[in-house]
Amino acid sequence: MPKPVSDTSPKPARAPRAACRWTLVGGKAHEQHAGLVLDLSDPAGGLQGRDGNRLLGLDVGSERPPLDAWVRGDDVTVTWEPADDRGLRATGLWRSHASTDAPPAWELVASATTHLLSADATVAVTSDVPAEEVLSASWRIGQPPAFERRSSPQQGLLLVRSGGDTSVLVMVHPSDHQAMTVTLSDTRAHVACLLFPTGVEKGVLLRSRVMAAVGPTADDLTWAARLAERFAASPAMLST
């Protein structure tokens, strides 16, 4: 019987595993690219940086430690058990985005479900940033957003100028049901995106997406429009 011949042909090299942009240390998630920090026991505080911005906070009803948290690639995911009579389990997935033609951006995918037959599912995604001027725009399919000074946000697209050299863009995906409010106090703007206003039934998973970006004021209308169009065209996450 002939002896089996061993395969000595060179094996293709495995692609190196992408480094995680997040680390979990001492109950906090640290974003490596921009130095942002998320306190997992206070998700409403959002992604906090040295510039005074608080971006994409997830108000889950009360301060409480998470049930679970993990990092994978550009994402950090955190789950909180119900803490009130709504029986609402909330999950937040914060994702870092980087590109060569736009400033860094961060996306929050918020999810909610309940063990009750039905429940109020309203959760707020909040951002608190320095502000001197606030512009808002409507989503127009196939057209870049036209930012204007308005007394209230239009369809979840808001650009806040700090009065320095940076601007902050906050936007809710146009396919999601939401209401956005902005409150100006002294030199700051508090932006709240109210998600899931129609409630949730047992066995149903609700999911919505909000994005924030920080970039130079000098060309903010250009990069904000680019990011908004890109976000609007991005595919939804699979429901699991």
Higher-pLDDT residue of 120, 35 = 35
- Predicted confidence at residue 11, as pLDDT, reads 45
Specify the DSSP element, H or E, that contains 205. none
- Predicted confidence at residue 156, as pLDDT, reads 75
pLDDT, mean over the chain: 83
* pLDDT above 70 (res 15): no
- Determine the topology of domain 22-233 in CATH: Beta-galactosidase; Chain A, domain 5 (2.70.98)
- Predicted confidence at residue 6, as pLDDT, reads 46
Q: List the one residue out of 181, 186, 171, 66 whose CA is nearest residue 122.
A: 181
* pLDDT above 90 (res 100): no
Local confidence band at 103 (pLDDT 50, 70, 90 cut-offs): very high
pTM metric for this prediction: 0.86
197-233 burial by CB neighbour count: b if 16+ within 10 A, else e? eeebeeeeebbbbbbbbbbebeebbebbbbbbbebbe
74-84 pLDDT per residue, tens: 999 999 887 77
Q: Which amino acid is at 108?
A: L
156-211 pLDDT per residue, tens: 788 999 888 999 999 998 887 678 888 988 889 999 998 887 888 888 898 999 99
- Predicted confidence at residue 118, as pLDDT, reads 87
* pLDDT above 90 (res 50): no
- Predicted confidence at residue 224, as pLDDT, reads 93
- Predicted confidence at residue 157, as pLDDT, reads 85
Q: Which DSSP letter does residue 132 get?
A: S
58-99 pLDDT per residue, tens: 987 766 678 899 999 899 999 988 777 777 888 999 999 988
**Nearest-angstrom CA–CA distance, 212 and 228:** 10
